[in-house]
Chains A and B, each alone.
Chain A
Amino acid sequence: MDLKDKLVSSFMAFENDIDVDSYVHDLRSDAIKIFEKQGFPSKKEEAWKYTSLNKILKEDYSVFPNREKVLEYSEVREYFIHDIDSYKIVFVDGKYSSHLSQTTHDGLDVCLMSAALAKPKYRLVIENYFNKAASKDSLSSLNTAFTQEGAYIHIPKNKLVEKPIQIIHFSTGSESATMLQPRNLIVADENSHVQIIERHQSLSSNAVLTNSVTEVFASKRAIVDYYKIQNDNNNASLIDNTFIKQKQQSHVSMHTFSFGGKLTRNNLNFYQNGEHINSTLKGVTIIGNKQHVDHNTLVHHIEPNCESHQDYKGIFDENSTGVFNGKVIVEKDAQKTNAFQANNNILISDKATINTKPQLEIFADDVKCSHGCTIGQLDESALFYMRSRGIPEKEAKGLLMFAFSNDVLNSVKIPEIKQRITKIIAHKLGVNIGFDL
């Protein structure tokens, strides 16, 4: 039985365990039909031309991991941004870990999707927002059908959340291969401000496939700063489907740091519904060793006077492959749109590959849209310049690559994250950045 059949038949069993009368039940039934009809995306589809799921779908994934392993904080401390006070929503093999988490209902809701789906007091929010941003593609639909657990975050009007919220999904390898489908919902009401850090981490060498869906709703004047740290081990693959709906004057930024994992696909979609909206999409990818990272972004400008800024940098070593596919749509009414997109790549090895494709669809006539993509090697004259000052080749290369990715780090607002990412980058590049930032 292939994975698709296994999932479809598992759904029938799963359906018996869930409340038939719930609002979400109908969504699930529709969603599994979409998945059953479309199946997993193949390379024949334009959006998946350079990313093949074939290999990773061959594993015999356990769809509902059974054995629950208890993790001690000391074992996993390194995966937290632990030097800041934060809320934490932590899952182990798809199940909530209360002792690793720190949730709240005090002035805001930072809790569990399972609770939000089950309890009547969340019903209104669920009905208003759940699955309202996610697209009806097969992978998101698959996630919707199986939605059980994830983070539920609701920030009420005018609330400035000072502590960042960390969402961490651990997999322990208690099964030989595990499929996880976390579902996160983030609702930021008018004039609120929240910062979120998300991470998926496998703790064993067993195969993991995560098909995650995150929906973010930013109301009028809300500010959401979202950071994804993707530094998983070489047997873990991640398909991240993130959908962001923004209302007028809201600012949402997404930073995606992709440093690891076997295959990582980021489907990042911004929908602007209002004027004076600002969307920021930034990413640093540093991979090697057969790793594959695919950024598939969409920014949909619908109304006038909005901005979007995309800046993705990639450094590819060994036989790694990268994909950047950035689509910007500017609708007819979206005059005075300012949309900027850049994708710059450095190939360190002859065997590394990057496929980069900007896609601009502009239907308005008074807009500023720019895009640029570069693929290059390290600048030889810059290297010689640095070496002539006594900086050895390896360090000079590291420093140049570090500088190359630095632009993206400049917009990281949480210093501890910036520091952590800097450390990971330095480690990845094998250099000791011999100075403070």
Chain B
Amino acid sequence: MLKINNLHASIEDKSILKGINLEVKAGEVHAIMGPNGSGKSTLASVVAGREEYEVTDGSIEFENEDINELAAEERAHKGIFLSFQYPVEIPGVSVTNFMKTAINETRKAKGLNEMPAKDMLKLIREKSELLDIDRKFLSRSLNEGFSGGEKKRNEIFQMAMLEPKLAILDETDSGLDIDALRIVANGVNKLKNENNAVIVITHYQRLLDYIVPDFVHVLYKGKIVKSGTKELAHELEEKGYDWIKEEQKA
């Protein structure tokens, strides 16, 4: 589904990703771990199409198509979704209206008619129940005044609404208490099937107890320096990142 080859990316001439190789197949869950500043969020942003980052070398293929030249919205239309580490507050646009616009723009891009209002309401009801989201919450301005947990839950609600093929969860666990973490993880697991894939970006092992990865990669200084299975995550939890750093020095 996703094939990243020798990806180099920089922002304002500062090189951040220095040759990433990663392949994610349908049905898989990948975790990307690593110390702060290793390039985890950059990787997420580059795959989602953030224009501030410049791809200087390598390629990103999604379903056998090079997507490097595609705008963020076009990638979204193809089924790539990024759950933000810091969801942006948008005063004046309600959660519901935002989702309606997003869904209908995606449908428009695919040559479909707008979703009938009745179906939209039904979908919103169904998905908000999945994430245990209060109805009142949906008429509030997007992320404005939301708590950290509410923002993250809202991200997964959006994921549920858009049903992406590839979901990248960027530090979705940060700022969540254990109950919120469980709700969010449970939501992701319910949406998971053999046709879609998830990349979980996290600093800690905690979330991976709930969303169990098939593969774990360690990102350090812009490169994937180690890959393994979920046991690698446990090892990192126990030993921290220092041994990775030591290994790289050697």
Q: Which residues of A contact B (CB under 8 A)?
A: 379-382, 384-393, 395-396, 399-400, 402-404, 406-407, 434-435
- Asked whether B93 lies within 8 Å of A399 as measured between CB atoms, the reply is yes
- Asked whether B48 lies within 8 Å of A389 as measured between CB atoms, the reply is no
- Asked whether B98 lies within 8 Å of A389 as measured between CB atoms, the reply is yes
B79 CB to closest chain A CB, in angstroms? 10
Known pairs A395-B101, A435-B97; A390 contacts B88 (CB<8 A): no
Contacts of B101 in A (CB 8 A): 391, 395, 399, 434-435
- Asked whether B48 lies within 8 Å of A403 as measured between CB atoms, the reply is no
Contacts of B158 in A (CB 8 A): 389
A–B complex contacts, Cβ < 8 Å, 22 sampled: A380-B52, A382-B90, A384-B50, A386-B90, A386-B98, A388-B50, A389-B76, A389-B98, A390-B73, A390-B77, A390-B103, A390-B109, A392-B109, A395-B105, A399-B93, A400-B90, A403-B91, A404-B92, A406-B91, A406-B92, A434-B100, A434-B114
Residue of B nearest to A405 (CB): B92
Residue of A nearest to B143 (CB): A385
Residue of B nearest to A384 (CB): B50
Cα(A208)–Cα(B66), bound, Å? 56
The residue in A400, A403, A407 that gathers the most chain B C-beta atoms within 10 A of its C-beta is A403
- Asked whether A387 lies within 8 Å of B97 as measured between CB atoms, the reply is no
B212 CB to closest chain A CB, in angstroms? 26
Q: Which residues of B contact A (CB under 8 A)?
A: 45, 48-52, 71-73, 75-77, 81-82, 84, 87-93, 96-98, 100-106, 109, 114, 141, 158, 162
Known pairs A389-B76, A392-B73, A392-B105; A382 contacts B92 (CB<8 A): no
- Asked whether A390 lies within 8 Å of B76 as measured between CB atoms, the reply is yes
Cα(A238)–Cα(B106), bound, Å? 43
A396 CB to closest chain B CB, in angstroms? 8
Contacts of B52 in A (CB 8 A): 380
The majority secondary structure among interface residues of chain A is helix
- Asked whether A403 lies within 8 Å of B93 as measured between CB atoms, the reply is yes
- Asked whether A387 lies within 8 Å of B90 as measured between CB atoms, the reply is no
Q: Which of A379, A404, A435 contacts B88 (CB 8 A)?
A: A379
Contacts of B114 in A (CB 8 A): 434
Q: Which of A384, A391, A403 contacts B51 (CB 8 A)?
A: A384
Known pairs A393-B71, A393-B73, A434-B100; A388 contacts B92 (CB<8 A): no
Contacts of B96 in A (CB 8 A): 435
- Asked whether B105 lies within 8 Å of A402 as measured between CB atoms, the reply is no
- Asked whether B88 lies within 8 Å of A385 as measured between CB atoms, the reply is yes
Cα(A407)–Cα(B51), bound, Å? 30
Contacts of B73 in A (CB 8 A): 387-388, 390-393, 396
- Asked whether B48 lies within 8 Å of A388 as measured between CB atoms, the reply is yes
Cα(A407)–Cα(B91), bound, Å? 9
B28 CB to closest chain A CB, in angstroms? 22
Cα(A396)–Cα(B88), bound, Å? 13
B189 CB to closest chain A CB, in angstroms? 22
- Asked whether A384 lies within 8 Å of B93 as measured between CB atoms, the reply is no
- Asked whether A389 lies within 8 Å of B51 as measured between CB atoms, the reply is no
CB-based closest 8 A-B pairs: A403-B92, A406-B92, A390-B76, A387-B72, A390-B106, A389-B102, A385-B88, A387-B73
Residue of B nearest to A435 (CB): B97
- Asked whether A388 lies within 8 Å of B90 as measured between CB atoms, the reply is no
- Asked whether B105 lies within 8 Å of A384 as measured between CB atoms, the reply is no
Contacts of A395 in B (CB 8 A): 101, 105
B223 CB to closest chain A CB, in angstroms? 25
- Asked whether A389 lies within 8 Å of B162 as measured between CB atoms, the reply is yes
| A388-B76, A391-B102, A434-B104 known, 6 other contacts, Cβ within 8 Å | A386-B98, A388-B72, A389-B98, A393-B71, A395-B101, A407-B91
- Asked whether B105 lies within 8 Å of A390 as measured between CB atoms, the reply is yes
Cα(A399)–Cα(B98), bound, Å? 9
Cα(A392)–Cα(B108), bound, Å? 11
A242 CB to closest chain B CB, in angstroms? 28
The residue in B72, B105, B109, B141 that gathers the most chain A C-beta atoms within 10 A of its C-beta is B72
Residue of B nearest to A437 (CB): B97
Cα(A318)–Cα(B171), bound, Å? 40
Cα(A390)–Cα(B103), bound, Å? 8
The residue in A393, A406, A435 that gathers the most chain B C-beta atoms within 10 A of its C-beta is A435
- Asked whether A390 lies within 8 Å of B97 as measured between CB atoms, the reply is no
Contacts of A400 in B (CB 8 A): 90
Cα(A386)–Cα(B50), bound, Å? 11
The residue in A387, A396, A406 that gathers the most chain B C-beta atoms within 10 A of its C-beta is A387
Contacts of A404 in B (CB 8 A): 92
A312 CB to closest chain B CB, in angstroms? 16
- Asked whether B88 lies within 8 Å of A382 as measured between CB atoms, the reply is yes
Cα(A396)–Cα(B74), bound, Å? 13
Contacts of A385 in B (CB 8 A): 84, 87-88, 90
A285 CB to closest chain B CB, in angstroms? 17
Q: Which of B49, B93, B104 contacts A388 (CB 8 A)?
A: B49
Contacts of B98 in A (CB 8 A): 386, 389
Residue of A nearest to B76 (CB): A390
Residue of A nearest to B161 (CB): A389
Cα(A384)–Cα(B82), bound, Å? 11
A25 CB to closest chain B CB, in angstroms? 52
Q: Which of B45, B49, B84, B92 contacts A407 (CB 8 A)?
A: B92
Contacts of B77 in A (CB 8 A): 390
The residue in A384, A389, A390, A406 that gathers the most chain B C-beta atoms within 10 A of its C-beta is A390
Q: Which of A384, A390, A393, A402 contacts B102 (CB 8 A)?
A: A390
A236 CB to closest chain B CB, in angstroms? 30
A22 CB to closest chain B CB, in angstroms? 51
- Asked whether B102 lies within 8 Å of A435 as measured between CB atoms, the reply is no
Residue of B nearest to A409 (CB): B92
Known pairs A393-B71, A399-B101; A387 contacts B93 (CB<8 A): no
A313 CB to closest chain B CB, in angstroms? 11
Contacts of A406 in B (CB 8 A): 91-92
Cα(A103)–Cα(B132), bound, Å? 56
Contacts of B76 in A (CB 8 A): 387-390
Residue of A nearest to B158 (CB): A389
Cα(A404)–Cα(B104), bound, Å? 22
